[in-house]
Amino acid sequence: MILRCSFCGGRLSPGRGKMLVLKSGTIRYFCSKKCEKNWKMGRDPKKVKWVKFSEKKE
């Protein structure tokens, strides 16, 4: 199973990164502290230039 960062979409190797479980039961994975802080600040990944991947919600 390939895990991807919830903010930038980067690949996570087994045993790397950070998993955050919200009260709602949603699980977020982060590859770095940079991604985690940007997500907590409420930034939109689509508007950040260095992000490789953005989630498409349809």
- Pick the more confident residue, 2 or 41: 41
Question: Which fold would CATH assign to domain 3-43?
Answer: Ribosomal Protein L24e; Chain: T; (2.30.170)
Taking the C-alpha atoms of residue 54 and residue 30, their distance in angstroms, rounded to an integer, is: 14
Mean pLDDT computed over 32-58 = 82
SS3 3: strand
Q: Count of CB atoms within 10 A of residue 7's CB?
A: 25
Mean pLDDT computed over 25-44 = 94
Helix (H) or strand (E) holding 34: helix 33-40
Residue 54 has pLDDT above 60, yes or no: no
In this structure, what token pair is assigned to residue 7? 């903010």
